[in-house]
């Protein structure tokens, strides 16, 4: 059985390592011998065409889906060799933001964010909710937001509340599934800047599934493109954009790709 390794990762060692990953649903093969490394402290954007398996890959890494084959290691531990107790401890070091926020409608926002603190750390309700209010302030929500029901929140507030819950246990790694989907351009840009601020302040590693070109240009250190059931390329945006592939050309060099590039350039020059 794998034991938790004490101390930090070795220099240059991936914080997430995927080797030979296979995912199939009946006769449908989503991933076939997929390899991917995620480095500590980076924001990795994962992109690909519809059906390329971006969200399936995320769920495989965080343990919500058991792969058909291959290995996933995170923070130096191989997931399929962990006991249930060790897996729970490892999962505490990860925060996940799902596409629609996945807030519990029966709880207000503060209670939603406090839930992981109460379940995993057995904190008293008052202490957990106090810490939840700190997390809500951290992601830029006003004090009154904690008393609201999820149904009373705007799209941007839902994303921030869900991010606060993902940060509740002070994770090492954040997994974000289409975090800016459904947001207006101003809200999406604000979320991108918040993500950069949090990464820089806390040294987070971020695994980010997205189709948002502005997010890729603004926030991501590297881009991984899924194609043909594997990772076609994983590198800096400038390298990925020059990859000789029809989907990459259409995606990064079409009108929307050019607009995102110009906007990112203008932001850096400002």
CA distance 228 to 31: 8
For residue 10, what are the contacts with CB-CB under 8 A and spacing of at least 6? none
Sheet with 205-209, edge to edge strand ranges? 94-97, 173-177, 205-209, 43-48, 222-227, 230-235
3-class DSSP assignment, residue 223: strand
Tell me how far apart the alpha carbons of residues 228 and 30 are, in angstroms, rounded to a whole number.
9
Higher pLDDT among residues 257 and 254, named by residue = 254
Mode of pairing for the β-strands spanning 222-227 and 43-48: parallel
Strand order in the sheet with 16-25: 28-38, 16-25, 69-74, 77-78
Q: In whole angstroms, give the CA distance from residue 270 to residue 268.
A: 6
Question: What tokens appear for 13 in the block?
Answer: 């060692």
Q: How, if at all, do strands 69-74 and 173-177 pair?
A: unpaired
pTM for the model: 0.88
All structural domains of the chain with their residue ranges = 104-171
Helix ranges restricted to H, the chain: 54-62, 84-91, 109-121, 125-138, 155-166, 185-202, 213-219, 237-241, 246-253, 255-269
Two structure tokens written together for 59: 């769920």
Q: With pLDDT > 90 as the criterion, what percentage of the chain qualifies?
A: 70
* pLDDT of 255 above 80: no
Query: Residue 215: its pLDDT value, please?
Result: 94
CB 22 within 8 A of CB 80: no
Between CA 36 and CA 42 the distance in angstroms is 14
pLDDT, tens digit, 9 for 90 and up, residues 148-203: 999 999 988 999 999 999 999 999 999 999 999 888 889 999 999 999 999 999 99
Average model confidence (pLDDT) across the chain: 89
Q: Report, in angstroms and rounded to the nearest whole number, the Rg of the chain calculated over CA atoms.
A: 19
pLDDT band at 244 (very low <50, low <70, confident <90, very high): very high
pLDDT digits (tens, 9 = 90+) for 21-66: 999 999 999 999 999 999 999 999 999 998 899 999 999 999 888 9
* pLDDT of 263 strictly over 70: no
pLDDT of residue 264: 58
């Amino acid at each position: 059985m794998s034991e938790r390794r004490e101390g930090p990762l070795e220099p240059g060692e991936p914080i997430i390592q995927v080797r030979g990953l296979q995912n199939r649903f009946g006769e449908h093969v989503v991933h076939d011998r997929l390899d991917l490394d995620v480095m500590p402290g980076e924001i990795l954007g994962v992109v690909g065409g519809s059906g390329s398996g971006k969200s399936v890959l995320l769920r495989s890494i965080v343990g919500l889906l058991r792969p058909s084959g291959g290995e996933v290691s995170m923070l130096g531990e191989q997931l399929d060799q962990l006991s249930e107790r060790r897996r729970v401890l490892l999962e505490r070091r990860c925060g996940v933001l799902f596409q629609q926020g996945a807030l519990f409608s029966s709880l207000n926002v503060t209670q939603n964010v406090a839930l992981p603190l109460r379940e995993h750390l057995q904190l008293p309700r008052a202490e957990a909710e106090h810490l939840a209010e700190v997390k809500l302030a951290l992601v830029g929500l006003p004090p009154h937001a904690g008393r609201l029901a999820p149904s009373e929140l705007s799209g941007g507030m839902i994303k921030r509340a869900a991010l606060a819950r993902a940060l509740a246990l002070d994770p090492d790694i954040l997994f974000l599934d289409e975090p800016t989907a459904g947001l207006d351009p101003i809200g999406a840009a604000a979320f991108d800047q918040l993500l950069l601020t949090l990464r820089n302040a806390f040294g987070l590693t971020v695994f980010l599934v997205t189709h948002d070109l502005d997010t890729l240009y603004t926030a991501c250190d590297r881009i991984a493109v899924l194609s043909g059931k594997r990772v076609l390329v994983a590198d800096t945006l400038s390298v990925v954009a020059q990859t000789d592939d029809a989907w990459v050309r259409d995606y990064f060099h079409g009108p929307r790709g050019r607009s995102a590039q110009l906007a990112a350039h203008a932001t850096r020059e400002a």
